[in-house]
Amino acid sequence: MRVVILGCGGFVGSHLLDNLLGDESYLIEGWDPEDRKIRGHLDNPRFTFHRSVANSPEALVEVERAVRECDVVINLAAICNPSDYNTRPVSVIHASLFDVYPVIQLCAKYRRWLVSFSTSEVYGRTLASYLPAGTYDDPDLYELREDETPLVMGPIQNQRWSYACAKQMAERLVYAHHAEDGLPFTIVRPLNFFGPRMDYIPSRDGDGVPRVLACFMAALMSGQPLQLVDGGQARRTIVSIHEAVDAIRRMLERPAAAQNQAFNIGNPHNEVTMAELADLMRRTYAKITGDRRFDDHPIVTVPAERFYGPGYEDCDRRMPDIGKAQRLLGWTPTMTLPEILLETMRAYHEAYAVPEAV
């Protein structure tokens, strides 16, 4: 199978390459301006890598050739770090919408299957969050179902929704080209994939505020308190990157089941508040380092406006219905949150804390 992957050098792309390149039947051509996470694959004769963005006029000539020759295009390219959503929303919107549109058009032109990575943020806030307390008892008001749940976002001044809104528009464009031009598509809505290589550690190999796991890891490794935004009451479900990649592999191998569908890819059994995640992470780090003082590592709360800047508003809860992925792909994630954290945090510890100590 010939696969084109845009954004192949990121977290998901690097794990997808590990998986697909392990199978000799896959030939992959990828684009990404970054290669730090995929250097181990650059010499593989079944992988052609372009160290560039996929949307420059020069790159698009090659992308068009690759789309014409391939069986499937997987688009992972995005700016998908919450700290960017309200601080550089123009770039965020461009990366998830306008930069992606030429690729959607090419896939429509050549009727190539487009696996388009969206986000569970397209659901916005749950209906329950707008209703009186206690309504979280009704799954109809909080459970996220691909083909039924309304997509509910805040006002435009709350620029935190720039990413979610751009991704939603990209989904609508994909669907519109499917309806008008017969574009075969699969929309993937990831719900918090966790695993090694997820994000940079600030001031070590990147700047800014990474996603929550790397924020908490950075704090643990540098002896700083873990910072809970607005008390850490937001809830997320965590799924292992390996199981998420397995879901994508199943899509590629079951085109008839996967095409023309949107899928939630997450694990509803691994739901935590960010406060619970912080506590679990400090206890896991105590286990990894053998230093029981981490069990009581300080945790502080900070207002969202101070942490992310003005215009931040959080999704309250993201509880996926994964019935469709179970039914059509035969996919059921089983890794528990403690197992996922142990693997991921150990990898971070070995990559960052151990070399420094030597």
Ligand X SMILES: NC(=O)c1ccc[n+]([C@@H]2O[C@H](COP(=O)([O-])OP(=O)(O)OC[C@H]3O[C@@H](n4cnc5c(N)ncnc54)[C@H](O)[C@@H]3O)[C@@H](O)[C@H]2O)c1
Q: Is 251 in the site for ligand X (CB under 6 A)?
A: no
Q: How far is the CB of 174 from ligand X (least distance, A)?
A: 13
C-alpha span between 207 and 174 (Å, rounded): 33
Strands (E), 297-341: 299-302, 319-320
Our CA angle for 230, 233, 234, nearest 5°, is 100
Strands (E), 118-202: 143-144, 185-190, 193-194
Among 7, 89, 124, 184, which residue interacts with ligand X (rule: CB under 6 A)?
Answer: 7
Q: For ligand X, what does the binding mask look like between residues 101 and 130, x meaning CB under 6 A?
A: ----------------x-x-----------
C-alpha span between 320 and 146 (Å, rounded): 9
Q: Is 171 in the site for ligand X (CB under 6 A)?
A: no
Q: For ligand X, what does the binding mask look like between residues 47 and 76, x meaning CB under 6 A?
A: ------xxx--------------------x
Of 26, 85, 142, 163, the catalytic one is 163
Q: Is 267 in the site for ligand X (CB under 6 A)?
A: no
Pairing assessment for the beta strands 193-194 and 239-240 based on DSSP bridges: parallel
Q: How far is the CB of 192 from ligand X (least distance, A)?
A: 5
The residues, ordered by sequence, that sit 6+ positions from 236 with a Cβ below 8 Å of its Cβ are 191, 192, 212, 271, 272, 274, 277, 318
| Minimum CB distance to ligand X smaller for 4 or for 228 | 4
| Minimum CB distance to ligand X smaller for 193 or for 294 | 193
Q: Is 313 in the site for ligand X (CB under 6 A)?
A: no
Helix axes 162-181, 101-110, angle to 10 degrees: 20
The residues, ordered by sequence, that sit 6+ positions from 328 with a Cβ below 8 Å of its Cβ are 254, 257, 258, 261, 263
Q: Tell me if 250 sits within 8 A of 263, measured CB to CB.
A: no
Q: Is 238 in the site for ligand X (CB under 6 A)?
A: no
Among 192, 240, 284, 344, which residue interacts with ligand X (rule: CB under 6 A)?
Answer: 192
Q: Is 6 in the site for ligand X (CB under 6 A)?
A: yes
Closest by CA position to 266, among listed 324, 208, 218, 209? 324
Among 17, 95, 209, 228, which residue interacts with ligand X (rule: CB under 6 A)?
Answer: 95
348 classed as catalytic: no
Enzyme catalytic residues: 163
- Residues in contact with ligand X by CB under 6 A are 6-7, 9-13, 31-34, 53-55, 76-78, 80, 95, 99, 117, 119, 190, 192-193
